[in-house]
Amino acid sequence: MKRVAAMLTAALLPSTLMAALPAGASGPPAASALTAAPADVPTHVPGIAGWPNGKGFDVVYRASTEKIAFRRLVDGAWSAPIDLGGRLVGGAAITFAGGRPHVFGRGTDGQLWQRVRVSGTWQAWTKVGGLVLSSAPAAAGRPDGRIDVFARDAADRLQTRTYTPGTGWGAWTSLGGTLNSAPAVIMTGPDSLRVVATHQDSTVRTRTLSGGTWSDWASLGGRTYSAPAVAADPAAGRTWVAIRDAETNRLHLRTLSGTWSAWQVMGGRHIDGPAASFTGGKAAVIVRGRDGALWARTVTGTTWSAETRAWVPGPPYAVPSALRGKNVTRISTTAKVAALTFDCAWSAAGVPSIRATLQRENVPATFFLVGDFARMFPVNANRLTASGFLIGNHSDNHPNFTKISDVTARTEITGARTAILNGNGAEPRPLFRFPYGAYTASDVTLVNGQGYIPVGWTVDSLGWKGTSGGQTAAKVAARVLAAAKPGMIVLMHVGDNPDDGTTLDADALPAIIKGLRDRGYTFTTLDALY
């Protein structure tokens, strides 16, 4: 509703410039237990950069409103947040170049965007562009003002681009590899870089730039579904790589100091990949815990501090009064906008094709995950989140809500949220879809009470029926296109038909996207509802 028009007019909306911290400020006011407003709940992997003077760190993160928040971390104390505005997909990156902090992110148009602070004032967001991204970027700045940016493209390959003062941005260059997540990068010397990334087999690999030449990819082992983090102390010749372990969700660390150490278990139970940086003799690692908060720990030399919580996350948004008591079946708008939605339950057979099509066509979408899906298919569940798609709750075990008790219904809702949040770091609230589309008025009230908006559909593609049910990819596409109307919500599925093994929704998706575009439609996710 109120956000649809904004999303149609700009890919990333710059906000009014916020007041900067005073120039030369030594750090933030002490705050041991800051409590966040709902708009300041962290989502996705944050970005962190050490100050050039070694006294602290700048941290940026996407908040629950998709705006970008900025805080400073000094001696374990966090400043109050500054709103950097804009809308990004996925997390943000930050680096210092020429003494200035530069924030980078993937805009809702899929392009790279940047915001920089000059003389204490944040400038407007500007588009770097040139490439459709499929993950959050990473960036490494240099004292002379040069910046190297790295990102995963629509085909999941690693790409890099360099900014040179006085010359501007060079062309994007492919570094190969097929990535499972966003990359991480760090300067290891005056003209040396190390990039680290999770590959399709979920292992961590790295390559280095030295003397203008890139090494081949080398395996660091480990296994993670999330983006890794890397920090370096060039003076000591030490590098740290941190990951969220795929099996335990605990922080694992590997250190290079002449030779690589074995992976060290650092503890904690986390829902996302970490971020890391080094400055002033201290490395900091921050990561989202299962309570949704950012947790931080530091290392001085080889001694690690305990993990401490940054601030208490704020409460979730309440369901808007205008949406209470409703199972929403279309977005209220007169604009030609469509929301593609996919239910994820018994199978993930269509996920690779669907994800590839959406990334190639630069189309956003919403995926409703069953808790069992998140548990059975963690690789696919994490790839959907890593690609920046919006995630909703589709119950824990896919029961008919009209045939279960209120107690069981609440357990279904909370169990799915736990499985999704702990498994891939996505907060499914406030989007919920009833299994089978079956509900009563009291079920809607119950779902509202859990903080969710029930979302149905304008048209069911019927791709789930398969060829054994008389469907074809052409019939699926034709059914969706015949139902085209402003604000339409399209229901599709990622699984295969259990009788014939077909994935007709995946097969029909390219024709659906082309057909809607030919009719003048653009695409949105279901956060346009609230």
| 471 within a domain of the structure (yes/no) | yes
Residue among 226, 303, 215, 230 at smallest CA distance from 272: 226
pLDDT at residue 24 in the model: 29
pLDDT of residue 84: 92
Same domain, 375 and 295: no
Cis peptide before 430 (omega within 30 of 0): yes
Q: Check residues 17 and 228 and name the one with the higher pLDDT.
A: 228
> Are the beta carbons of 135 and 388 closer than 8 angstroms?
yes
Question: Could you tell me the pLDDT band of residue 303, with boundaries at 50, 70 and 90?
Answer: confident
For residue 348, being part of any structural domain is answered with: yes
Average pLDDT, integer, range 293-317: 87
Percent of the chain with pLDDT over 90: 85
Banded pLDDT at 1 (limits 50, 70, 90): very low
**pLDDT reported for residue 312:** 87
Q: CA 391, CA 368: separation in Å to the nearest integer?
A: 6
Residue 10 pLDDT exceeds 80: no
Mean pLDDT of the 496-518 span: 97
User: Residues near 264 by Cβ (< 8 Å), separated by ≥ 6?
Assistant: 252, 253, 254, 255
Q: Are 273 and 47 in contact (CB under 8 A)?
A: no
pLDDT of residue 402: 98
CA 67 to chain centre: 13
In degrees and rounded to multiples of 5, residue 498 shows phi and psi of -70, -20
Tell me: do 117 and 207 sit in the same domain.
Answer: yes
Residue 530 has a pLDDT of: 84
Residues 372 and 272 in one domain: no
**152 pLDDT more than 90:** yes
Residues 247, 264 within the same domain: yes
Summarize pLDDT for 326-347 with one digit per residue, the tens: 999 999 999 999 999 999 999 9
Tell me how far apart the alpha carbons of residues 494 and 512 are, in angstroms, rounded to a whole number: 15
Q: Is residue 436 part of a domain?
A: yes
Question: What DSSP element (H or E) covers 348?
Answer: none
Q: What burial letters (b/e) apply to 372-382, b meaning 16+ CB within 10 Å?
A: bbbeebbebbb
- φ, ψ of residue 62 to 5 degrees: the values are -85, 125
* DSSP annotation of 174: E
Q: What angle do CA 34, 37, 43 make, to 5 degrees?
A: 90
- Please indicate, yes or no, whether residues 296 and 326 belong to a single structural domain of this protein: no
Residue 275 domain-assigned?
A: yes
Confidence of residue 7 (pLDDT cuts 50, 70, 90): very low
Does residue 237 have a pLDDT over 60? yes
pLDDT at 38: 59
**Residues 184 and 229 sit within 8 Å (Cβ to Cβ):** yes
Q: For residue 37, what pLDDT is reported?
A: 62
Report in angstroms the alpha-carbon separations of 218 from 159, 177, 184, 203, 445. 17, 11, 15, 10, 53
Kindly state whether residues 227 and 300 are assigned to the same domain: yes
The last residue of a domain, from among 312, 338, 353: 312
Count CB-CB contacts under 10 A for residue 176.
Answer: 12
For residue 489, what is the domain's CATH number?
A: 3.20.20.370
Taking the C-alpha atoms of residue 204 and residue 510, their distance in angstroms, rounded to an integer, is 32
86-90, 184-188, 248-252, 440-444: which range is least confident on average?
A: 86-90
Residue 166 maps to which CATH number? 2.120.10.70
Q: State the CB neighbour count (10 A cutoff) for residue 239.
A: 23
The DSSP letter of residue 131 is S
CA distances to 180, 321, 477 from 262, rounded to whole Å, are: 23, 54, 51
* Residue 257 φ/ψ, nearest 5 degrees: -145, 80
Task: State the average pLDDT over residues 94-123.
Answer: 96
> Residue 126: is its pLDDT beyond 70?
yes
pLDDT band with cut points at 50, 70 and 90 for residue 300: confident
**175 and 243 share one domain:** yes
Crossing angle (nearest 10°) for helices 351-361 and 378-386: 10
List phi, psi (to 5°) of 2.
-65, -20
The domain boundary residue, chosen from 312, 346, 364: 312
pLDDT of 246 reads 95
Q: Which residue has the tokens 């990156």?
A: 93
Asked whether the predicted pLDDT for residue 502 surpasses 60, the reply is: yes
Is residue 45 in some structural domain?
A: yes
Phi, psi of 520 (to 5 degrees): 90, 15
Closest CA to 88 of 73, 116, 101, 69: 69
Which residue, among 171, 174, 221, has the nearest Cα to 196 in the 3D structure?
A: 221
**Do 161 and 263 reside in the same domain of the chain?**
yes
Q: How confident is the model at residue 6 (pLDDT cuts 50, 70, 90)?
A: very low
Q: Do residues 63 and 158 both lie within one domain?
A: yes
- Whether the predicted pLDDT of 217 surpasses 50: yes
Which range among 37-46, 198-207, 258-267, 415-424 shows the weakest confidence by mean pLDDT?
37-46
| Residue 475, domain extent | 321-529
Q: Is the pLDDT of residue 32 over 60?
A: no
Among candidates 137, 103, 133, 140, which has minimal Cα distance to 118?
A: 103
Report d(CA 324, CA 447) in Å as an integer: 9
Which helix (H) or strand (E) segment holds residue 140: the answer is strand 138-141
Instruction: Looking at the structure, tell me whether residues 285 and 354 fall in a common domain.
Output: no
In a domain, 29, yes or no: no
Per-residue confidence (pLDDT) for residue 495, from 0 to 100 = 97
The pLDDT of residue 318? 82
Q: Indicate which residues carry an active-site annotation.
A: 343, 493
The DSSP bridge partners found for residue 137 are none
Mean pLDDT for all residues in the chain: 91
Among the candidates 312, 339, 373, a domain finishes at 312
Beta-bridge mates of residue 121: 118
In total, how many domains does the chain have?
A: 2
**403 lies in some domain:** yes
Report residue 3's pLDDT band, with 50, 70 and 90 as the boundaries: very low
Percent of the chain with pLDDT over 70: 92
Which range, 26-35, 62-71, 215-224, 264-273, has the best average confidence (pLDDT)?
215-224
Q: Are residues 153 and 271 in the same domain?
A: yes
DSSP, collapsed to helix, strand or coil, labels residue 377 as coil
Is pLDDT at 73 greater than 60 in this prediction?
Answer: yes
Place of tokens 């969706």: 480
pLDDT tops 70 at residue 20:
no
Residue 345 host element (H or E): none
Radius of gyration of the chain (CA): 23
Whether 114 is in a domain gets the answer: yes
pLDDT-derived band at 151 (thresholds 50, 70, 90) equals: very high
Packing angle, helices 504-518 and 473-482, rounded to 10? 40
Assess whether 258 and 218 both reside in one domain: yes
